[in-house]
Amino acid sequence: MLKQSHAISEELIEWRRDFHMHPEIGFDLHRTAKIVADELEKMGYRVRRGVGKTGVVAEIGEGGKVVAIRADMDALPILEQNEHEYVSQTPGAMHACGHDSHTAMALGAALLLSKEKLPGRVRFLFQPCEETTDEEGKSGAQRMFDEGAVEGVDYVIAQHVDPLSPVGTIAISEGPSGGGVDTLTATIHGKGGHGAYPHKTVDPFFLLAQVIIALNGIVSRRLDPFEPAAVSIGSIHGGDAENVIPGKVTLKGTLRFTSLEVHKQIREEVTRAFEIVRSLGGDYELKFEFGGMPLVNDTYVSGVIERVGRDLLGANGVHAMHKTLGAEDFPEFLKNAPGAMYTLGTKIDGREIYELHHPKFDIDERALPIGTAVLVETALTFLRNES
Ligand SMILES: [Zn+2]
Ligand SMILES: [Zn+2]
């Protein structure tokens, strides 16, 4: 399979550079989605356009099990600082998370699979808006899930480029591998007044200080030390003048977790932390907004990816995944089928490393046929194992 995918290297690079030069953001992926859908139709896929606004779902094969391969297509609102010949032609938009290459590799996998005799079906999920959410707080994967993109699917796989790992490697681990997300928004109400007469006020900053200490105690004192989680405040606003104690202060933060039980527990603990405010004479409003499911790689699916990786890349080509509480919206597709995501080494030798979302992010394109081959071989392995 590596040989076959090397044979389409030129197409892979051409697709990737075309998407890179014409990045589109959020759900606004009309050009990218059209190219993807047109190419898939040419390859003989049954194509559904406009799934989850601008997503594309395409299936090939008959009967048997259904393996889904997901690729995200959206870029970021970043001004590219690279100087290569395929630099973004849209100022302020850039494929700085490698989704151009995810889309190209999935198209390559679709092409190679269209030439195979499949003992089942393969479904491609090309999704918009992985990086953010729409006005209703839904990401591309959530929208596509809601519109039945993974109905009838048995397994779902996806890959993400990794600028820190060398070309010729993948990384995969079973179990919790990425964070679920909650956003908290709160207002602490006190009683404003003159900074010289604090005793006549209920100082919301003083109340906030107690809350922050309690929030920082949640992970260290309230959760099981074997449960990865984070509680971080990212925004605090209140007051204007140096000698006026304001009546209120607002704050926003992010909660990360890898299990839904812990998610529930963190919400309870955060609420308790805010209760302190009432015992000190203030009041509060607190709102949580669920941002996304944690990534939990299925044991069987991860095992298949690992074996495929070893067969294709050798024992040194497969590593344990670097786990993080960073979020991905891929787990939305795993709500009724097992699946896993792995990372693909795309490090550029001899160049300073620029991480995901950096304006100088880039990949070593020699990784493209490798990622393509892993997708194809993994899909075929599932179908062969169960036919
Ligand atoms: Zn990203
Ligand atoms: Zn990404």
Q: How confident is the model at residue 387 (pLDDT cuts 50, 70, 90)?
A: confident
User: Shortest CA distance to 385 belongs to which of 296, 305, 295?
Assistant: 305
Looking at the structure, tell me whether residues 258 and 325 fall in a common domain: no
Cα of 13 from ligand 2 centre, angstroms: 19
**What's the gap in Å between 121 CA and the centre of ligand 1?**
29
Half-sphere exposure of 128 (CA within 13 A, CB side): 25
Do residues 58 and 124 lie in contact, with contact meaning Cβ atoms separated by under 8 Å?
yes
Q: Do 261 and 288 sit in the same domain of this protein?
A: yes
Share of the chain above pLDDT 70, in %: 100
CATH number at residue 96: 3.40.630.10
**Rounded CA gap, 45 and 125, in Å?**
12
Residues 18 and 116 grouped into a single domain: yes
Asked if residue 215 has pLDDT above 80, the reply is: yes
Q: How far is CA 119 from the centre of its chain?
A: 30
pLDDT of residue 201: 98
Residue 279 sits in a domain of what CATH number? 3.30.70.360
On whether both 246 and 112 belong to a single domain, the answer is no
State pLDDT tens for residues 230-267. 999 999 999 999 999 999 999 999 999 999 999 999 99
Ligand 2 center to 126 CA (angstroms): 13
Contacts of 160 (CB under 8 A, 6+ apart): 98, 102, 328, 341, 342, 343, 344
Q: How many CB atoms lie within 10 A of CB 225?
A: 8
C-alpha to C-alpha distance for 97 and 375, rounded to whole angstroms: 19
Which one of 276, 292, 308 terminates a domain? 292
In this structure, are 74 and 54 located in the same domain? yes
Mapped onto helix, strand or coil, the DSSP state of residue 202 is strand
Query: Which domain does 35 fall in, by range?
Result: 2-177+294-385
Residue of 168, 139, 186 whose CA lies nearest to 282 = 186
Are 150 and 185 part of one and the same domain? no
Instruction: State the ligand closest to the CA atom of 363.
Output: 2
CA 64 to chain centre: 29
Residues 233 and 302 in one domain: no
CA angle 58-62-63, nearest 5°? 115
Give the sheet arrangement for strand 180-189, strand by strand: 229-237, 248-257, 180-189, 283-292
- In DSSP terms, which residues pair with 71 in a beta bridge? 126
Q: Are residues 158 and 11 in the same domain?
A: yes
Tokens of 268: 């309870």
| 350 phi, psi to nearest 5 deg | 75, 10
The overall average pLDDT reported for the chain is 97
Torsion angle of C-alpha atoms 29, 34, 36, 38, degrees rounded to 10: 180
- What is the pLDDT, as a whole number, of residue 386? 80
In a shared domain, residues 51 and 134: yes
- For 118-171, write each residue's pLDDT tens digit: 999 999 999 999 999 999 989 999 999 999 999 999 999 999 999 999 999 999
- What pLDDT does residue 60 have? 98
Give me ligand 2 centre to Cα 141, in Å: 13
pLDDT at res. 145: 97
Ligand 2 centre from 330 Cα, in Å?
10
Residue 30's alpha-carbon distances to 25, 125, 217, in angstroms, are 10, 16, 46
Q: What is the pTM of this model?
A: 0.91
Domain boundary pick from 292, 308, 323: 292
Q: Per the structure block, which two tokens stand in for 329?
A: 């919206």
Quote the ligand 1 centre to 27 CA distance (angstroms).
15
CA of 63 to the centre of ligand 1 (A): 35
Cα dihedral sign for 250, 254, 260, 263?
Answer: negative
Judgement on whether residues 280 and 302 belong to the same structural domain of the protein: no
Please give the average per-residue pLDDT across 212-240, as a whole number.
97
Answer yes or no: do 113 and 165 share one domain: yes
Q: Helix, strand, or coil here: 102?
A: helix
Q: Look up residue 368 and give its amino acid.
A: L
The number of the ligand nearest the C-alpha atom of 162 reads 2
- Count of domains forming the chain: 2
Ligand 1: distance of its center to the CA of 98 in Å? 8
Question: What's the gap in Å between 132 CA and the centre of ligand 1?
Answer: 9
Ligand nearest to the CA of 102: 2
Per DSSP, the three-state class of 109 is helix
Given pLDDT bands bounded at 50, 70 and 90, which one contains residue 25?
very high
If DSSP codes are grouped into helix, strand and coil, which group holds residue 67?
A: strand
What pLDDT score does 137 carry? 87
Same domain, 318 and 281: no
Q: Name the domain boundary from 270, 292, 314.
A: 292
Span 307-329, mean pLDDT?
Answer: 95
295 CA distance to ligand 1 centroid (A)?
Answer: 15
